Amino acid sequence: MTSPEVPSVPVEAVPGEFDSSKRAAADAGQAILLDVREDDEWRLGHAPGAIHIPMVDVPARVDELDYDVDLYVICRQGGRSIEVVKYLTHIGFDAVHVNGGMVAWQQLGRPLVAEGDHQAKIY
């Protein structure tokens, strides 16, 4: 899913390593991968080092993000992340939507981790 007024990148363009600590990411000049899926989706599988803030919680938890780093926003396929990027760019963040979301992430064979003792999967 894409939107012409929202900055977007393909999964291939997303950096390979993230630090889930916003201060460490800013100090290292790194980017943050913000996963805006629901808790149950996150538990099934997510990118290592991603920050998890469900879409509905982003406005209340925006202080957990850093204005000094690039934010790559991802969801399952793109609908939620587009809306979050619209909001974040409106309030001054450098945020981009990741085309294809975590489905494309898994299809490309990018690393996944899961909570618990099951194999990570998105679909």
* No. of helices (H) and no. of strands (E), the chain: 5, 5
Amino acid making up residue 122: I
Cβ pair 97, 76 in contact under 8 A: no
* DSSP H helical ranges for 29-109: 39-44, 58-61, 79-90, 101-107
Amino acid making up residue 1: M
Point out the residues that are catalytic: 75
Task: State which H helix or E strand residue 56 sits in.
Answer: none
CB neighbour list of residue 79: distance below 8 Å, 6 or more residues apart: 1
